[in-house]
A and B are shown apart, each in its own frame.
Chain A
Amino acid sequence: MEMPQDKKLIVSASPHIRAGVTTRGIMADVIIALSPAAIASIVIFGISSLLVMAVCIGTAVLSEWLFCLACKRKNSIGDLSAVVTGLLLAMNLPATIPLYQAAVGSVFAIVVVKCLFGGLGKNFANPAIAARVFMLIAFTESMTAVAARSTDVLKLATVDTVASATPLALLGGAEGTLPQITDMLLGLRGGALGETCIIALVLGGVYLLLRKVITWHTPVTFIATVFGLSWLIHGSAVNALYAVLSGGVVLGAIFMATDYVTTPLTAWGKAIFGIGCGLLTIVIRTYAGYPEGVSFAILLMNILTPYIDKLTMRRPLGGEKA
């Protein structure tokens, strides 16, 4: 075909091709990776689990949209990051949480932790984690309640809190018997929505690894550190295994400690981050007033991220030491 007269060509900087990876695509992958755990939570805790997820996601997306509107910022809900934040927060809540509290937590995550710092990429702390910690302090009673398994998936009223001690409390010396390891893997125990079904979480983790959304460095070092230190403390590998499988270690290691924005850039940095998370988790579990320390550990390590980045930055090829 003929070239039109006076045709203007596009002039731009290289490169002129792209790998085709997008923020939206990455977020979609995280949602896909979380869906086995989300489905498992509905099976384990019943329909109320679905309600918590719906409220968290809905409130997160709505508050981001309203914030953008109010601040005359470009509407950013299309990048799906608010959906991920809402879903991750829901995963960290018990199924018995009053829905208004879940909504308040979501608004806190999106508006206070993310948008006020400048939106996606600018927040220093993981929004879902920071919101969970906020809720732990604001709604202590409902946040520390342990939801029991639902006996009938479709019935709303079946979710009760259980009086018996959690595996973590048992490891800490409380009275009672530990559940079977198979039950731990399937998620047939009390806990937050998304943290109990280990198999579903690992499935999601493998998916993220295969899709190259995350690298192995943080999850492996995080879990290995928790396992190793628990073995030292409890003196048995079986108890160390319980320490890894209970609480939010697996959920945190795969989905929360791998958040791009709030964790280190380099492979070595990610490994240090994982070790630090594991160490702080055990310190909090062993010495602090809270039975679980994963959220606090990740939050504290989020704050250390800029320093880890600085420490682990490689020397440019052929560059002299500055």
Chain B
Amino acid sequence: MALFGLPGVHVPHRKNTADSETVLMPPPETVVIPVVMHIGAPAKPTVKAGEVVAVGQPIAEADGFISAPVHATVSGKVQKVEDIVLSNGSSAPAVFIRSDGEMRRWEGLTPPTVETLDDLAKAIRDSGIVGLGGAGFPTSVKFTIKDIERAEYLLINAAECEPYITSDTRTMLDDTGLLVRGIELLKKLLLPKKVIFGIERNKPKAISKLKQAFAGGEGVTVKTLPSMYPQGGEKVLIYNTTGRVVPQGKLPLDVGVVIINVTTLAAIQSYIETGMPLVSKVVTVDGSAVAKPMNVRVPIGTPLADVFEFCGGFKSEPFKVLYGGPMMGTTVPNLDVPILKNTNAILAFDVHDSIAPEETPCLRCGSCVGRCPMRLNPPAIAKAYSQKDFDALGKLKVDLCMECGVCAYVCPANQQMVQRHKLAKAELRTYKQAKEAKN
């Protein structure tokens, strides 16, 4: 089939910060910590204005199975708990903490005892860890496994296929010890037949460091993969490392795979060793408007403006600022928005890189069809969507679209496929719900 084209696309790497060692950023004046930084139910705030909090202290509790608690990321005083607008347009409560600059550790923190898989799931839940690759899915859910036999593969997603972002690379270089001990623990508890690190070829230093670290480790493979975006897409990585296809509407575990991001793994092990929940993130700060691109460890909730200022400010006026990489990242409306749990990069672009080219008519060149990793048909989806033909959209499986952006990236007509697919998915969902309600 190779003659007939492999899915995916070569995107520019722009890993400018791969060699920049992580710099610790001092606490900002104020942090803004939203209670929803994950997929699922928002956490419930447990603190009130005026309360004094310390680093690691719970400030909002998980509300439901698919949810995650939130912790104070600096020590200081709670100013207020107030709704803010999130980057997806919805609003949710956020806890504003004025830092006392001391970064005092909360006295209630103790490393958890993890002896069984249930202990692990509980520890992860208490740690507030969510999928740090960007998805933000509460990680504890992945380890709530009734039938342990099913976990044949433990897959560590270290592909980091988005341009610019190097925070996972830094994890692999700086926290190799955490990864080795984390894998040891997970092997003991999950008993997978195989452990695979999936990593793109463009990170030679991280690859050799991992290979060295796991040289003696039995059943651990560091699998070097082509730098072919979106290599780190969950279903893509599972297919490219195990040959298994996750069916529509099913989870990786249904095909025997437990898959977590490499930084998530390091965060879990760090919590188990220190008892300190997820309160800070390594973030790649880059983009054509940024004066000094670098990797910084930032308290979660730090406003973007403070992070950019710490990185020398802007060398030219920023017109577009992103959470995440340029392929899947979301734009922010202003720089008051905070660093979230799943923020792995913030990018600021100058005017030249910010203006989207004009949309022109589809030529039917088929580039998108040939390169879609999910083998979807964007021109047919566009037609069905323009006619609001939801039965056709269902048949075209638009809901399988992971919004990786490959189609729009290669499109000579600059069609806004991702935007269209997002809308089509949302409207299809509404349509299906209405149809079910009728029956």
Interface residues of A (CB under 8 A from B): 1-4, 7, 9-19, 21-23, 25-26, 79, 119-122, 215, 260-261, 264-268, 309, 313-320, 322
Q: Are B327 and A15 in contact (CB under 8 A)?
A: yes
- Given contacts A16-B326, A17-B409, A316-B376, A9 and B366 within 8 Å (CB-CB): no
B287 to chain A, nearest CB (A): 10
Which of A4, A11, A121 contacts B362, CB < 8 Å? A121
Q: Tell me the complex Cα distance, A16–B267, Å.
A: 29
| Residues of chain B with a CB closer than 8 A to A266's CB | 366, 369-370
User: Known contacts A14-B328, A267-B5; can you find 14 more A-B pairs with CB under 8 A?
Assistant: A3-B314, A3-B318, A15-B327, A18-B408, A19-B9, A23-B363, A122-B361, A260-B366, A265-B369, A316-B376, A316-B397, A317-B235, A317-B373, A322-B394
Q: Are A14 and B380 in contact (CB under 8 A)?
A: no
Which of A3, A10, A267 contacts B370, CB < 8 Å? A267
- Given contacts A1-B317, A317-B235, A318-B246, A16 and B322 within 8 Å (CB-CB): yes
Q: Tell me the complex Cα distance, A1–B292, Å.
A: 12
The chain A residue sitting closest to B391, CB to CB, is: A322
Interface positions of B from 324 to 380, Cβ below 8 Å from A: 326-335, 349, 353-357, 360-367, 369-370, 373-377, 379-380
| Residues of chain A with a CB closer than 8 A to B3's CB | 267
> Is B313 located at the chain interface by the 8 A CB criterion?
yes
Interchain pairs with CB closer than 8 A, number: 166
| Residues of chain A with a CB closer than 8 A to B317's CB | 1, 3-4, 7
Q: Tell me the complex Cα distance, A19–B334, Å.
A: 27
Q: Tell me the complex Cα distance, A315–B372, Å.
A: 12
Q: Are B362 and A10 in contact (CB under 8 A)?
A: no
The chain A residue sitting closest to B330, CB to CB, is: A14
Which of B373, B375, B422 contacts A13, CB < 8 Å? B422
The chain B residue sitting closest to A81, CB to CB, is: B363
Q: Tell me the complex Cα distance, A22–B414, Å.
A: 8
A74 to chain B, nearest CB (A): 9
Q: Are A9 and B320 in contact (CB under 8 A)?
A: yes
Q: Please report whether the interface of chain A is mostly helix, strand, loop or mixed according to DSSP.
A: loop
A269 to chain B, nearest CB (A): 8
Q: Are A23 and B413 in contact (CB under 8 A)?
A: yes
Q: Tell me the complex Cα distance, A12–B87, Å.
A: 11
- Given contacts A9-B319, A13-B422, A79-B360, A315 and B332 within 8 Å (CB-CB): no
Q: Tell me the complex Cα distance, A14–B409, Å.
A: 9
A275 to chain B, nearest CB (A): 15
27 chain-A/chain-B pairs, Cβ below 8 angstroms: A1-B313, A1-B314, A1-B315, A2-B313, A9-B333, A10-B320, A11-B333, A12-B331, A14-B327, A14-B328, A14-B418, A16-B322, A16-B349, A21-B411, A22-B357, A121-B413, A260-B363, A265-B379, A267-B4, A315-B375, A316-B376, A316-B397, A317-B374, A317-B400, A318-B400, A319-B248, A320-B248
